[in-house]
Amino acid sequence: MRAKSIMIKLVDSLFMEKYKLCGYDGVSNWKKQWTLSDNEKLLFVINDNSNHWTLMVGEPKKKTMMYYDSLGGNGKSYFEIIQNFLMKRFESYGWSHQVAENIPHQFDGYDCGVFLCEYARCVMLQKPMDFLRTPCLISERG
């Protein structure tokens, strides 16, 4: 049985960097071509200080943001940036912030990009976050 199709908007990591540097004015023209009601999920790809990749997933109908971090961070500062953008651009208020629990975590200092891709894949395909059972992610290093 196939999962129901959903509309997803992917927001690249440059959005977050530009917002951190220039505030809302730096990104106010970036997202004029989409609306919140067009999308069931918003995926914000985040590069944390140029050394760690994470993912924030928004659900406009529920007004929730779920943060996925393979090192277990809380993403509060990124939630505040996204919430500020949503308020200014879409006049959308009352979003809540949650940290994803019971998700796979990395055991090294360099696989965060792979985890980001897998988190995004699971969200987009509406699949459980059990990808560490996949042989390609099981480390065979001694």
In a 10 Å sphere around its CB, with 0-12 CB exposed, 13-18 middle and 19+ buried, how is residue 13 labelled? middle
In a 10 Å sphere around its CB, with 0-12 CB exposed, 13-18 middle and 19+ buried, how is residue 79 labelled? buried
Mean of per-residue pLDDT scores for the chain? 86
Tell me, what's the pLDDT at 3?
59
Give the mean model confidence (pLDDT) for residues 59-87: 95
Q: How confident is the model at residue 136 (pLDDT cuts 50, 70, 90)?
A: very low
Tell me, what's the pLDDT at 135?
46
Give the mean model confidence (pLDDT) for residues 59-72: 95
What own/partner pairs with CB < 8 Å and gap ≥ 24 does 115-123 have?
115/53, 115/68, 115/70, 116/45, 116/53, 116/54, 116/55, 116/68, 116/70, 119/55, 119/68, 119/70, 120/10, 120/43, 120/45, 120/55, 123/8, 123/41, 123/43, 123/55, 123/57, 123/68
Q: Are 20 and 81 in contact (CB under 8 A)?
A: yes
Domains and CATH numbers, the chain: 8-136 (3.40.395.10)
Residue 127 has pLDDT above 70, yes or no: yes
Tell me, what's the pLDDT at 21?
92
Encoded tokens for 2: 């196939």
Alpha-carbon span 121 to 129, nearest angstrom: 9
Alpha-carbon span 33 to 54, nearest angstrom: 25
Report if pTM > 0.75.
Answer: yes
List of E strands, the chain: 8-11, 41-48, 52-59, 64-68, 96-99
Give the mean model confidence (pLDDT) for residues 98-110: 93
Tell me, what's the pLDDT at 89?
86
In this predicted model, what pLDDT tens digit does every residue of 3-56 receive, in sequence order?
567 888 889 899 999 999 999 998 887 766 677 777 789 999 999 988 999 999
Tell me, what's the pLDDT at 133?
60
